[in-house]
Amino acid sequence: MNLPAESLPVLEYLQRQIDGTLNPSQTTHMRYPTAISQTLAIRVVEVAAGHATLEIDADADIHGNQQGTVHGGLLCELADAAIGTAHSTLMAPGDSFTSIELKASFFRPVWKSTLRAVVRPVQMGKTITHYVCDILREDGKQAAMIVSTVMTLRGDQARGR
């Protein structure tokens, strides 16, 4: 028996997904899980309004650069996914958003570690929100800090996105 789809706000959808209470008939207006997160096996582990924590099992044998460490682009993607997840919890149906700036500072190399991206808003406006994302290695040391500016799109600006 197929149940009719029930559309949930993004925050509630993700919270149910995390705690295992999401049922197959429940959906949200944004695409979760995202294609890139599925490809890279990025996991949402905590979420609150405007906040998110995501994890990935990073390994230089899979995600490596020329120096033999995990590529900085993977850390940027993890941060961008976490920031997008945090911001999506604030979106009403019909709204969308886009990153307009992303800046990375790398502090320590990663060879093999479960990386944790912890996002918090620094300043939240009606249209522009600034976030900071700390990327932590499993030893608790900070590997990188990513700051991002996100623009919320509404009405005609959001159509088709």
Q: Let me know if residue 51 belongs to a domain.
A: yes
- Segment 38-48 shows an average pLDDT of 97
For 82, list phi and psi in degrees, rounded to 5. -65, -45
Whole-prediction pTM? 0.94
Q: How many other β-carbons are positioned within 10 Å of the β-carbon of residue 136?
A: 19
Task: Enter the DSSP assignment of 154.
Answer: -
Please state the domain count of the chain.
Answer: 1
pLDDT given for residue 158 in this prediction: 77
Give the per-residue pLDDT at 160.
74
Q: Is residue 39 part of a domain?
A: yes
In the chain the beta strands, taken as DSSP E runs, fall at 6-8, 26-28, 43-48, 51-59, 96-106, 112-124, 128-136, 142-153
> Is 57 part of any domain?
yes
Q: Is residue 1 part of a domain?
A: no
Percent of the chain with pLDDT over 90: 92
Structural domain span for residue 57: 6-157
Q: What is the mean pLDDT of residues 15-20?
A: 96
**Is residue 47 in some structural domain?**
yes
pLDDT tens per residue, range 107-144? 999 999 999 999 999 999 999 999 999 999 999 999 99
Tens digit of each residue's pLDDT (9 = 90 or more) over 51-105: 999 999 999 999 999 999 999 999 999 999 999 999 999 999 999 999 999 999 9
Please indicate, yes or no, if residue 99 is contained in any of the structural domains.
yes
User: 53 lies in a domain?
Assistant: yes
CATH number at residue 43: 3.10.129.10
What local confidence, expressed as pLDDT, does residue 92 receive? 92
Whether residue 1 is predicted with pLDDT greater than 60 in this model: the reply is no
